[in-house]
Structure 1
Amino acid sequence: MSFPWAKQYTPTNGFMRFMDEKLPLPRLVYNAVGAGYPVPRNLNYMWNFGVLAGFCLVLQIVTGVVLAMHYAANAQVAFATTEHIMRDVNWGWLMRYMHANGASFFFIVIYLHIFRGFFYSSYKAPREMIWILGVVIFLLLMATAFLGYVLPWGQMSFWGAKVITGLFGAIPLVGEPIQVWLLGGFAPDNAALNRFFSLHFLLPFVTAGVVILHIWALHIPGSSNPTGVEIKSESDTVPFHPYYTAKDGFGLGVFLILLSIMVFFLPNYLGHPDNYIEANPLSTPALIVPEWYFWPFYAILRAFTMDFFFIPAKLMGVLAMFSAILIWFILPWLDRSPVRSGHYRPLFRKFFWFGLIPAMLVLFICGGAPPYEPYVMLSQAATAYYFLHFLVILPIVSKIETPQPMPYSITEAVLGSDKKAVLGENASPAV
């Protein structure tokens, strides 16, 4: 994003001038997250989650590299090496608890980031590419988290790997060969554990590369804002530093306090008890469930209980589960409303708060519940509404609703309708 009023980087000493000429990293940082990056002046705390997501990624990579130094991807000793990390490696317990709970907090941040995008229509032009890259990042995180859940080689790790890879077997003709290729055999064992460990180590760095593209794409049109109104003048913006570095710093402090409480006082609260038992292929757990952040999509998978004509229920569940995320790719073209912010879309707002959010909460609950009634029926109803919301309700609402009056500019939304404030301090008296 280039604005004529943006501050320009000027090196202050000979070394910085040399760096700016030969390898302009200081200029890049200054223009990306410094005073050279103007941002809307009305961003609220919902815009903190992008920075928090970046911090979570760095935390996961650092703790993951340390854990990889002591882990052995062998089905005979994987569970034992996990215990070795917890009991014998200096600060190993802290690294593992930070990594495991950091993954959960990562997904909390990501889900809030995504639903903020839903409400404020952050996927609309000119930010379609930012949104698409964000969905790609989410898919990479889902894959990385699943692969990591297998590595401790507990009961839920083993059976989770067997169930999830077994989903590929539902694909006609090529499904079973793909499943065998993924596992390196007919059941999870050494080959699968080695493959999953290698990919779990590699994918975070791939994710980091896509995150760089995501940030790059963000800096072309600039950040969105709660009003959905584009920047019109210098008075609409403030420099990213120090205003939003301070605001993001406060949000990061709150995040670290909550993470510390979890790590030091409730480290195993989000883990499944069966995963503290070594994997046993001859003993099936009473209830096989993935980690909590997969529950909505697991509920969608289990919502299909009957065949539909010639399509098996299992295949329909697999297609629906993947489609629940893939549908996000086309959101910019499903929602045709000229207004971005949900604050000015009364009908959209009702369907969002009283339709989509309750449906997602029901899917979260049903995904972790036993596959019995009333959970099956509730997950079927929530799944139906989920797809109706994006494929039917959202396009219709975007065409028929009458938006509320919007402010002329970001400054007007913040300071009121005073013309001098809106048009800038140098507005002429004749205006």
Structure 2
Amino acid sequence: MAGVQYRPQSGFMQWMESRLPLVGFVYSAVGKGYPTPRNLTYLWNFGFLAGVCLVVQIATGIVLAMHYVPDATMAFQSVEHIMRNVNYGWLLRYVHANGASMFFIVVYIHIFRGLYYGSYKAPREVLWMLGVVILLLMMATAFMGYVLPWGQMSFWGATVITGLFSAIPVVGEQIQTLLLGGFSVGDPALNRFFSLHYLLPFVILGVVILHVWALHIPGSNNPLGIDVKGPQDQIPFHPYYTVKDGLGIVVFFMFFALFVFFAPNSLGHPDNYIPADPLVTPPHIVPEWYFLPFYAILRSITFDIAIPFTGITLMSAKLLGVLAMFASILILFALPWLDRSPVRSCKFRPVYRIFFWVLMVDCVLLTYVGGMPAEGIWPTLALIGTIYYFFHFLVLLPFILPRIEKPEPLPNSIFEAVMEGKSGPSTPQAAPAE
């Protein structure tokens, strides 16, 4: 169906629309003017919820920045001041701290929904790549924000992560010094991280606008992964999906509130309530939970690559780990071309559907292992999880699945599949009931 054009009724709105068509733009983006597939499920709520999380983080972060002092001798005390003396400062801080975790939960679900339904395939490659850019910016913003409380885990986490850059040949130490503003984590690093942590959310907002723009060109994907065939396959975004998004927001904020009011520190580390001390190293340094799978990949490489019998090391374990960690994210940029199947949705890819859930289990395993000490069986499990992760994207998708998988027949249209799902299949190509 073609989008319904916005037609202002009052003279003032007609005058305004002819000069600044803001209402018309919103109407065409999220109103009756934006046609969407008629079979979207609640999994499509998470893109909108991610936007809500970003707004919450920006709003609370602006207020917190008014009271925070980016100085190594005062940063920890300024956070305590916010918690104890600022009106509702404790609420703002808990919403902001737990909001970061909620943001990553929503985005990770959004990403895995895209993986399951093939939302990265043509013609949505740029849309997917912009989403990966948003993920990278989120990770950079979250890491810098984690340093700001200036507790023990903040300080030593920053020391470990920034130290990884020194593994890069030739320019690694220069990059580390530039990032820290010196040779160790201190005042210059804290000021840099605070400045970038304040700036990057607005950069994310700009990329989100591009992401939404890229979405509106091909339109939304759908659970069947087939293209829209005609107006009967679509319904207006408003009121059908605004109602679903509204319900999603209510449920999400109920879940969010459980952490803010009843378990505000459950997703953090208790050592961060100890002021940073460069002379006391915590027994087990771990990042925030949403970095743990990448941290596990980083630590999984415990061997050097060397020329046999010469003692010449070609690549150290530290550098291999750093490359593997960054590659685990950057590989997502190439995913639209690595997956060579012409079928998008896992609903019609029975073999890939199994491996999708294996990938899910693998990511959960890496998350758990990343929080464990690098001793005993944990490094071995991390290496197994890392090997499968890269095997999934670099071997399974482009080479094995095209040879062994035979996709199931696709429905003729979304409308046909939805109607047959209600009244029972009438043709051999009917899609499973929704």
TM over 0.5: yes
1:318 aligns with 2:310: no
**What is the Cα deviation at residue 11 of structure 1?**
0.4
Alignment of 1:234-253 (within 5 A): 234-253=231-250
Which residue matches 1:50? 47
Retained in 2: the 8 A contact 1:339–1:345? yes
Superposed CA deviations along residues 401-427 of structure 1, whole A, max 9, x for unmatched, are 1101111001111101999x99xxxxx
User: What's 1:333 paired with?
Assistant: 337
Counterpart CA distance in 1 for 2:130 and 2:422 is 39
Matches within 5 A, 1:151-170: 151-170=148-167
1 CA distance for matches of 2:324 and 2:11?
Answer: 59
Q: 2:23 aligns to what SS in structure 1?
A: helix
Equivalent in 163, 178, 182 of residue 181 of structure 1: 178
Match of 2:131 in 1: 134
Task: Give the aligned partner of residue 35 of structure 1.
Answer: 32
Any residues of structure 2 matched to 1:361-372 within 5 Å, and which?
361-372=364-375
Q: Does 1:386 align with 2:389?
A: yes
Give, in whole Å, the separation in 2 of the partners of 1:122 and 1:398.
18
Secondary structure, counterpart of 2:375 in structure 1: coil
**Which residue, 10, 13, 24 being the options, matches 1:13?**
10
Equivalent residue runs for 1:23-422 within 5 Å: 23-309=20-306, 310-353=314-357, 355-395=358-398, 396-416=400-420
Amino acid at match of 1:367: G
Q: TM-score, normalised by structure 2?
A: 0.95
Q: List gaps (5 residues or longer) in structure 1.
A: 423-431
Identical amino acids, percent of aligned pairs: 64
The alignment's TM-score, normalised by the length of structure 1, stands at: 0.95
Query: Could you tell me how far apart the structure 1 residues matched to 2:422 and 2:413 are?
Result: 11
Report which stretch shifted further, 177-186 or 73-82: 177-186
> Whole-Å Cα distance in 2 between the matches of residues 160 and 262 of structure 1?
24
**What's 2:431 paired with?**
none
Distance in 2 separating the partners of 1:225 and 1:36: 19
* CA distance in 1 between partners of 2:393 and 2:182 (Å): 39
Secondary structure of the residue aligned to 1:416 is: helix
Alpha-carbon separation, structure 2, partners of 1:366 and 1:103: 21
Q: How far did 1:44 drift?
A: 0.6
1:398 is displaced (CA, Å) by 3.3
Shift of 1:400: 3.4
Q: Secondary structure at the match of 1:173?
A: coil
What amino acid does structure 2 have at the position aligned with 1:215?
V
Conserved 8 A contact 1:169-1:176: yes
How far apart in 1 are the matches of 2:92 and 2:156? 25
Kept in 2, the 8 Å contact 1:19–1:26? The answer is: no
2:11 and 2:211 map into 1 onto residues whose CA distance is 33
Residue in structure 1 matching 2:19, options 18, 22, 29: 22
**Structure 1 counterpart of 2:430:** none
Contact preservation (8 Å) 1:295, 1:364: yes
Q: Per-residue displacement from partner, 1:370-404 (whole Å, max 9, x unpaired)?
A: 11121111010000000000000011213431101
Question: Runs of 5+ in structure 2 lacking a partner?
Answer: 307-313, 427-434
In structure 1, what is the Cα distance between the partners aligned to 2:199 and 2:16?
A: 31
Per the alignment, do residues 212 and 257 of structure 1 end up closer, same or farther by CA in structure 2, a change over 3 Å counting? same
Q: Report the 3-state secondary structure (helix = DSSP H, G, I; strand = E; otherwise coil) of the residue aligned with 1:323.
A: helix
Q: Distance in 1 between matches of 2:187 and 2:97?
A: 22
| Equivalent-residue separation in structure 1 for 2:51 and 2:403 (angstroms) | 36
* Distance in 2, Cα, partners of 1:345 & 1:326: 25
Give the ranges of 4+ consecutive aligned residues of structure 1 lying more than 3 Å apart after TM superposition: none
Residue identity in the other structure for 2:315:
I
Instruction: Name the CA distance, whole Å, in 2 between partners of 1:8 and 1:118.
Output: 33
Aligned length: 417
Please give the alpha-carbon distance, in whole angstroms, between the structure 2 residues aligned to 1:116 and 1:373. 34
Return the alpha-carbon distance in structure 2 between the equivalents of residues 398 and 210 of structure 1: 34
Q: Distance in 2 between matches of 1:408 and 1:244?
A: 24
